[in-house]
Every structure is written in structure tokens, then in C-alpha cells.
């Protein structure tokens, strides 16, 4: 139900940085999902705090997104405020360290590293998200993680609106996860790197990109759907269930890598969800293993 007072306040505070009834299929990497009631692009910490003050006053639901590469949003959409971090992308170079805001894209950060001859995070090449999302999900490879390059992280406690600064050793990181909770908004981080020749950095980035292209399928997706249940690989389990290439609607389980679900372009979130359910059922039935989704499901799925 439309709250005219809420809308009036949002328009007054954020003007051109707010969109109404925005189709999230245009935002997320899956290219499916319904509309968000409001999509806001804050530009600084002060605006983030203002948004959460409004959310508290009107008891609105909210969703924090970077590039939208790790979510599946329901076809019914999101009846609340989506906060995009994409305009929070400032950075400060401090010798061999770089402090960067949550909305800086990984691809942009790597360009900055090349320009300034800084090495240490080339393994993030090809990951399509933002720094905030990379920290929350501890992005990386099997043996290298962004958490290993963090000096500190600043976050906003959404309930108290207090900014918290934590050193790396105060934060719990594990495989594809961290202890940043849903009531925390990651604001910025400082990473420590080291000097290296530009050509060497470019060469390493090219190597990691080539490996990703060789292993991962192209198309509209959210990357790996399931976490690997140690000591197994989710893709291998799914493949052994004979599900490679299986499709529902305009979405299918990739024949190149079974832990990817691809939207051909006209797929619905419901199609993806039904494939996720099918995979979980078949893997449980065959191996007695409960697969855990790596992506976040937003909204109602029936």
C-alpha cells in the first residue's frame, strides 16, 4: 500500500537518487524478478544513516544491494526500500594500502591497482560484485580470500546507527561467509597490498580471468548457486544426479558447470527457484547431503 507521506519524505531527501516501482530484472545479474517499491542510491554515510532513520520511522522493509550478483528476487518483487551502494565508490590511496567504500566494483578496484602498481588481489578478477558484497561473502578462490587482505572494516549498526570499526582479527571469516549480520551495513574497508610491476599485475589478472572463462558458463546467472559441502563439490554432486542441461521455463542447469543456473533471457525467478528445489531434492535423495544456497532468496517463493 502506498504511503504518500513516506514517498514525500524520500523524494525531498533523495530527489533524483530515488526510483519508484523499479523492475529488479534490470538490476540483478539473473535478469529476473519483480519490482521494488523504491530503489535509492545513497552517496555517502550521512545519507545511509538518513535512509535507516526513515525506515525505522515508517517500519519499512529494506534490502541492501551492490551489483545484485548474488541474489534471486521473487517475481512478486520487493515491497520495501532497496538501498543500492553503487554510488558509494570513493577510495583513498595510502602508500601500499587502499581505503575504499562498499560500492566500489571489484573490476574498478583492480584497475586502480594496475594504475598504482599494487598487487595482492588479482585472484578477485572476474568476480562481478562490489567490495561490500565481497567482504560480506568473503569472496575469493579455494585457497585465497579477500579477508586475508583486510586491515579493518567500518560498518553501520542499523539499529543503533553507530559506526563500528573492526580490525581483521576481530572479524570472523570462513568459507563464503563472515559474521557481518543483516543489521550491519558495510561502509568501507582498508586493504593492504604490495608494490609490483604493472605488466606482472596485468599478466596475473589475465591468467585468473582466463581460468574463470574456461571453467564458468556465460549467460545471465548469479554465479555458483550452492556452497560446496566439504569435502565435496556441489557441481560434481549435481552432475552425478544427471541434472546437467535440465531446464524449467527459460532457465536451465548449465552443461558446462552444474552449479550454475542460466537464464536465457525470458526466465522467471520461479523457474530458477524450481530448479534450486529440484537440485536440493535429488542431491539429498542420492547422497543424503543438504545443499546450502550461496545466493540469497529475496521475497515470496511458493
- What tens digit of pLDDT does each residue of 22-43 get? 999 999 999 999 999 999 999 9
Read off the pLDDT of residues 100-121 as tens digits, 9 standing for 90 and up: 999 999 999 999 999 999 999 9
Read off the pLDDT of residues 207-258 as tens digits, 9 standing for 90 and up: 999 998 898 898 999 999 999 999 999 999 999 999 999 999 999 999 999 9
Written as nine digits, the cell of 226 is: 550452492
Query: Looking at 74, 178, 224, 254, which residue is catalytic?
Result: 224
Query: Looking at 97, 107, 176, 211, which residue is catalytic?
Result: 176
Q: What is the pLDDT of residue 143?
A: 84
Looking at every residue in the chain, the average pLDDT score rounds to 95
Read off the pLDDT of residues 48-69 as tens digits, 9 standing for 90 and up: 999 999 999 999 999 999 999 9
Q: What is the pLDDT of residue 35?
A: 98
| pLDDT above 80 (res 76) | yes
Give the confidence band of 2 by pLDDT, cuts at 50, 70, 90.
low
Query: Looking at 60, 101, 190, 294, which residue is catalytic?
Result: 294
Give the confidence band of 3 by pLDDT, cuts at 50, 70, 90.
confident
Written as nine digits, the cell of 25 is: 530484472
Q: What is the pLDDT of residue 302?
A: 75
Bridging pattern class, strands 177-178 and 78-84: unpaired
| pLDDT above 70 (res 177) | yes
Looking at residues 262-279, what average pLDDT do you find?
98
Mapping DSSP onto H, E and C, the string for the chain reads CCCHHHHHHHHHHHHHHEEEEEEHHHCCCCCCCCEEEEEECCCCHHHHHHHHHHHHHHCCCEEEECCCCCEEECCCCEEEEEEECCCCCCEEEECCEEEEECCCEHHHHHHHHHHCCEECCHHHCCCCCEHHHHHHCCCECCCCEHHHHEEEEEEEECCCCEEEEEEHHHCCEECCEECCCCCEEEEEEEEECEECCHHHHHHHHHHHHHHHHHHCCCCECCCCCECCCCCCCHHHHHHHCCCCCCEECCEEECCCCCCCEEECCCCCHHHHHHHHHHHHHHHHHHHCCCCCECCEEECCCC
Burial (Cβ within 10 Å: 0-12, 13-18, ≥19) of residue 278: middle
Give the confidence band of 300 by pLDDT, cuts at 50, 70, 90.
very high
Instruction: Look up the pTM and report it.
Output: 0.94
Q: Is 176 a catalytic residue?
A: yes
Looking at residues 76-81, what average pLDDT do you find?
96
Phi, psi of 8 (to 5 degrees): -60, -40
Domains of the chain in start order, with CATH, are: 4-84 (3.30.43.10), 91-215 (3.30.465.10), 234-298 (3.90.78.10)
Read off the pLDDT of residues 158-172 as tens digits, 9 standing for 90 and up: 999 999 999 999 999
Q: What is the pLDDT of residue 252?
A: 98
Read off the pLDDT of residues 125-148 as tens digits, 9 standing for 90 and up: 999 999 999 999 999 988 899 999
Amino acid at each position: 500500500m502506498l504511503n504518500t507521506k513516506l514517498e514525500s519524505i524520500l523524494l525531498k531527501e533523495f530527489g533524483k537518487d530515488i526510483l519508484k516501482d523499479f523492475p529488479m530484472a534490470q538490476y540483478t545479474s539473473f535478469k529476473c524478478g519483480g519490482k521494488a517499491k523504491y530503489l535509492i542510491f545513497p552517496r555517502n554515510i550521512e545519507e545511509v544513516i538518513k535512509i535507516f532513520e526513515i525506515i525505522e520511522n515508517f517500519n519499512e522493509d529494506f534490502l541492501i544491494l551492490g551489483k545484485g550478483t548474488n541474489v534471486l528476487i521473487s517475481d512478486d518483487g520487493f515491497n520495501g526500500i532497496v538501498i543500492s551502494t553503487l554510488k558509494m565508490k570513493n577510495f583513498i590511496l595510502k602508500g601500499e594500502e587502499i581505503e575504499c567504500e562498499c560500492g566500489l566494483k571489484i573490476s574498478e578496484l583492480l584497475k586502480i591497482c594496475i594504475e598504482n602498481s599494487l598487487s595482492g588481489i588479482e585472484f578477485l578478477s572476474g568476480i562481478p560484485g562490489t567490495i561490500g558484497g565481497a567482504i560480506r561473502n568473503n569472496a575469493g578462490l579455494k585457497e585465497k580470500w579477500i579477508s586475508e587482505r583486510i586491515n579493518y572494516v567500518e560498518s553501520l549498526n542499523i539499529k543503533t546507527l553507530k559506526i563500528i570499526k573492526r580490525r581483521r582479527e576481530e572479524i570472523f571469516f570462513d568459507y563464503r561467509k563472515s559474521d557481518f549480520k543483516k543489521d550491519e551495513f558495510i561502509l568501507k574497508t582498508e586493504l593492504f597490498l604490495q608494490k609490483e610491476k604493472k605488466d606482472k599485475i596485468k599478466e596475473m589478472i589475465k591468467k585468473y580471468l582466463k581460468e574463470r572463462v574456461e571453467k564458468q558458463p556465460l549467460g545471465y546467472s548469479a554465479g555458483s548457486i550452492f556452497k560446496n559441502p566439504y569435502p565435496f563439490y556441489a557441481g560434481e554432486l549435481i552432475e552425478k544426479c544427471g541434472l546437467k542441461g535440465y531446464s524449467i521455463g527459460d532457465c536451465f542447469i548449465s552443461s558446462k558447470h552444474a552449479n550454475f543456473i542460466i537464464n536465457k533471457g525470458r526466465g522467471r525467478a520461479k523457474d530458477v527457484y524450481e530448479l534450486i528445489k529440484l537440485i536440493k531434492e535429488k542431491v539429498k535423495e542420492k547422497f543424503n547431503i543438504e545443499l546450502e544456497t550461496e545466493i540469497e532468496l529475496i521475497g515470496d517463493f511458493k
